[in-house]
Amino acid sequence: MTGTLVLAADPMLAGDVGLVEVLLTLAKVVVAFAFLLVAVMLMIWFERKLLGGMHQRFGPTIAGPFGILQTLADGVKLFFKEDLVPDRSDRFVFKLAPYLSLIPAFLAFAIVPLGGDFNNGGQVEWWGRTTYLQVADPPIGILLFLAMSSVAVYGVMLAGWSSGSKYPLLGSVRASAQMVSYEAALGLAVASIVLVTGTLSTHDMVVTQAAEGYLGVIPRWNVIVTGLVPFIVFMIAGTAELNRPPFDLVEAEQEQYSSIRFALFFLAEFMNTITMSAIIVTLFFGGPAGPVLVGELGGVNIAWAWGVVWFFLKLFVLLFCFVWMRATLPRFRYDQLMDLGWKALIPVALGWFLFLAALEMGRDRGWSEVTVTVVSLLVFAGAALLLARAVRSGRRSRDREAARADERSDPVEERA
Amino acid sequence: MAEAVFAVAAVLMLAGAVGVVASRNPVHAALFLVQTLVGVAVLFVLNDAHFLAAVQVVVYAGAIVILFLFVIMLLGVDKAEELSIEPIFGQRPLAAVVGAALVAVLGTVVVTGADVLTGLRRAGGDRALDGDATDIERMGRVLFSEFAFAVEITAALLTVAVVGAVILTRRASRSDGSATADTAAS
């Protein structure tokens, strides 16, 4: 019977499953879902307010104090608008597509540890049951996130196709090509983390990062352990995966949608942003790991709550960075976007992954770290030179061919 | 519990499989294929093969079917096709024969048990049960020790395939310029 449960790694679900376990799991699902929805609402307001500040204007001000209810007002408005379905559209797929972007965002959020005292393993005891403060801790852990981000491509792709019009289709093909390309870089950055922590489970990753740091003050977060490069790659690839600025080339697939369906897409975009930030916090910044400042309050053990506090603080900082990037960076052109993904991010992520693997190997065999680093850097320099040459010669031959094609096509045009 | 999950996944898979064959629209067929693949992933989880389940979704649903959809959408064959013409002579009777053979093989397996054809009760033989390592660790160990050569050969094969595809498309444009100009214009 152990094979029947996806959640087999959760200590709570290891033995017999009774009513309390089911109720506890249900409660966790409801809390996580409610949190995500409220967070999306606040995130939309936060982004607009912050962008307004950075653009030297006010942003939303009317609905509620500081305009905090603006999203609610927009939601109500969109809800009562007429729901248009284009005439030539594929009705079922057209209606299915928004959910295909929304549901993966929530499912990926399920593996994020939200709290717990990670100085003591991160477990909490509620109603006599030991559990983690996360909806699920499957053995494949972070792979679930990658699987969900690859499923999310369907939402974009089918939305464009099902509308039955040419331009949304072109837009969605571009957007899905972008998402598929950047998934590779995303996966390589995740692989570095898996290599360093030696586990796929998000819970165990946080436990590893909660261990004793360096010099007593620097935490053992993966962003430091893996040497910053995977984090930068993940951040850029993640932004591209979300189709957020500066990689927001495609908004057209949404233009075919009206009313509540547009709201669903909008919701999905922000929900994906929050999930991505939560995943980054988990992977690189130790998730809920942090010091417990006040262990007990009125005789009640509240050590787990500090995990929640640290998690939200880190999440907040990352969300701020996402908005900041949007306000600062100009939009990319499509070919620049593909160049960045394939010719910069993937080689860098792959090279850094191999470097980390070499370091790990050297530690096992007792090689000197300096030698490993120097040799790796030399190999990198060689590989980078080769790649640069390949890219240059590729571009030159493409230019030559284009010139020749121009010469040839000219007389054809005259004849016509 | 396990039986219930199996029943749901099996119904999902079979419905998807029927949908792939029966739907007239290629995009719908591809989506039904995704449904079947996800059902297979559920069955993998049911058998404690969590890693295979994840790979099933990432590679098959996330990459291969997406590629199918790309081709379908970009070639513009995403509408119902004319089915009265037979492009290859004798295609349909042959398909019936192959289908009947497949049904016979699968029927044999179902009736007599899985070991009739391969002599194995399960993939991986006895190795599947050693120790309490996760399926990822076990698979990694086997792939990079016993089957390291096969892994390298596969990697080389894939590289050759990619390089070959690039060379084929590039060479066509160099030797026959007018053809490329036409395709570029159309």
Question: pLDDT tens digits for A187-206?
Answer: 999 999 998 888 888 888 88
CA of B46 vs chain A CAs: smallest distance (Å)? 5
CA distance B68 to chain A (A): 12
One domain for residues B73 and B136: no
Average pLDDT over residues A139-156: 87
Domain's final residue, options B60, B78, B96: B78
Mean pLDDT lowest for which of A28-32, B35-39, B50-54, B77-81? B77-81
Predicted confidence band of residue B176 (pLDDT cuts 50, 70, 90): very low
| Cβ pair B40, B27 in contact under 8 A | no
In the structure, what pLDDT confidence band is assigned to residue A67 with cuts at 50, 70 and 90? Answer: confident
Q: Does B108 touch chain A (CB under 8 A)?
A: no
Between CA A64 and CA A199 the distance in angstroms is 46
Q: Of residues A162 and A8, which shows the higher confidence score?
A: A162
Q: Who wins on pLDDT, B85 or A113? A: A113
* Residue A39 placed within a domain: no
Residues of A in contact with B55 (CB under 8 A): 143
CB contact under 8 A, B73 and A173: yes
Q: Which of B37, B62, B78 is the last residue of a domain?
A: B78
Stretch B84-104: mean pLDDT, rounded?
85
pLDDT confidence bin for A5, thresholds 50/70/90: very low
Cβ–Cβ gap A3/B178 under 8 Å: no
Residues A315 and A281 grouped into a single domain: yes
Q: Does A151 touch chain B (CB under 8 A)?
A: yes
| A175 min Cα distance to partner chain B (Å) | 12
A385 touches chain B (CB under 8 A): no
pLDDT number for residue A17: 67
**B62 in contact with A, Cβ within 8 Å:** yes
Q: Closest Cα of chain B to A322: distance in Å?
A: 26
Is B9 inside any structural domain? yes
Average pLDDT score over chain B: 79
Distance CA A55, CA A39 (A): 23
**Position B120 confidence tier, pLDDT thresholds 50, 70, 90:** low
**What is the number of structural domains in chain B?**
2
The reply to whether A262 and A383 lie within a common domain is no
Which residues share a beta bridge with A218?
A214
Determine, for residues A138 and B73 on separate chains, whether the beta-carbon distance falls below 8 Å. no
Residues A278 and A380 in one domain: no
Q: Do A311 and A391 sit in the same domain of this protein?
A: no
Q: What is the pLDDT of residue A395?
A: 86
Residue A12 lies in a domain: no
Q: CB–CB of A276/A321 below 8 Å?
A: no
Q: How many distinct structural domains can be found in chain A?
A: 2
Q: Which residues in chain A (306-325) have CB-CB distances under 8 A to chain B?
A: none
pLDDT tens digit sequence for A246-259: 777 666 555 567 67
**Which residues of B, range 119-158, sit inside 8 Å of A by Cβ?**
134-136
Ranked by mean pLDDT, which of A296-310, A326-340, A376-390, B134-148 comes out on top?
A376-390
Give the model's confidence band at A416: pLDDT under 50 very low, under 70 low, under 90 confident, else very high: very low
CB A306 within 8 A of CB A290: yes
**CB within 8 Å: A140 and B50:** yes
Window from A174-178, A373-377, B3-7, B94-98 with minimum mean pLDDT: A174-178
The pLDDT assigned to B184 comes to 42
Q: For residue A267, what is the enclosing H or E element?
A: helix A259-284
The average pLDDT across A110-133 equals: 76
> Which residues in chain B have their CB less than 8 angstroms from residue A342's CB?
none
Same domain for A390 and A294: no
Q: In this structure, is residue A329 part of a structural domain? A: yes
Element (H, E) at A300: strand A300-301
pLDDT band, residue A369 (cuts 50/70/90): confident
Is there a single domain that holds both residue A350 and residue A381? no
Q: Is A388 within the bounds of a domain?
A: yes
Residues A269 and A396 in one domain: no
Predicted confidence at residue B172, as pLDDT, reads: 56
In a domain, B158, yes or no: yes
For residue A283, is it within any domain? yes
Same domain, A269 and A393: no
Is there a contact between A177 and B70 if contact means CB atoms under 8 Å apart?
A: yes
The rounded distance, in Å, linking the Cα atoms of A304 and A295 is 9
- Is A278:A315 a contact under the CB 8 Å cutoff? yes
Structure tokens given for A187: 């996966």
- Give me the percent of chain B exceeding a pLDDT of 90: 28
Interface probe for A, chosen from B8, B40, B69, B139 (most Cβ of A below 10 Å), is: B69
Contact A150 B48 (CB under 8 A): no
User: Quick one: pLDDT at residue A51?
Assistant: 86
**Residue A166 CA: distances (Å) to CA of A159, A162, A173, A346, B79:** 12, 10, 11, 31, 14
What is chain A's Cα-based Rg? Answer: 24
Statement to judge: residues A150 and A203 lie in one domain: yes
pLDDT of residue A241 exceeding 50: yes
Question: How far off is chain A from B48, nearest CA to CA, in Å?
Answer: 5
Query: Are β-strands A300-301 and A129-132 bridged in parallel, bridged antiparallel, or unpaired?
Result: unpaired
Greatest extent of chain A over all pairs of C-alpha atoms, in Å:
92
pLDDT (mean) for A353-369: 87
Which is nearest to A315 in space by CA: A30, A33, A42, A24? A42
Three-state DSSP at A120 gives: helix
Residue A304 confidence (pLDDT) above 80: no
Residues A244 and A392 in one domain: no
The residue segments making up the domain with residue B147 are: 132-177
A252 shares its domain with A127? yes
pTM for the complete prediction?
0.82
For residue A275, how many C-alpha atoms fall within 13 Å in the half-sphere facing its CB?
A: 30
Sign, Cα dihedral of A209, A146, A32, A38: positive
Q: How confident is the model at residue A4 (pLDDT cuts 50, 70, 90)?
A: very low
Question: A188: which 2 tokens?
Answer: 């390589």
- With contact defined as beta carbons under 8 Å apart, do A66 and A50 qualify? no
Contacts of A145 (CB under 8 A, 6+ apart): A108, A111, A190, A279
With contact defined as beta carbons under 8 Å apart, do A185 and A351 qualify? no
Domain annotation covers residue A319: yes
Q: Provide the pLDDT for residue B116.
A: 61
Using a CB–CB cutoff of 8 Å, tell me whether B73 touches chain A. yes
In a domain, residue B116? The reply is: no
Q: Which of A6, A176, A405 lies nearest to residue B181, judging by beta carbons?
A: A405
Q: What is the structure's pLDDT at B80?
A: 58
Whether B21 is covered by a domain: the verdict is: yes
Question: Which of A180, A289, A273, A287 has the alpha carbon at shortest distance from A235?
Answer: A273
Residues A136 and A254 in one domain: yes
User: Rg for chain B (alpha carbons), in Å?
Assistant: 22
Residue where a domain terminates, one of B36, B60, B78: B78
**Which CATH number is B61's domain given?**
1.20.120.1200
Cα A187 to Cα A136, A140, A181, A345, A383: the distances in Å are 21, 14, 11, 11, 21
Mean pLDDT of chain A: 81
CA A3, CA B43: separation in Å to the nearest integer? 10
Residue A82 included in any domain: no
Which chain A residues have a beta carbon less than 8 Å from that of B54?
Answer: 140, 143-144, 146-147
**Domain-located, residue B32:** yes
Structural domain for A397, as ranges: 370-402
pLDDT score at B83? 66
B47 CB neighbours in chain A (<8 A) are 3
pLDDT of B101 higher than 90: yes
Model pLDDT, residue A37: 87
Please give the share of chain A, as a percent, with pLDDT higher than 90: 9
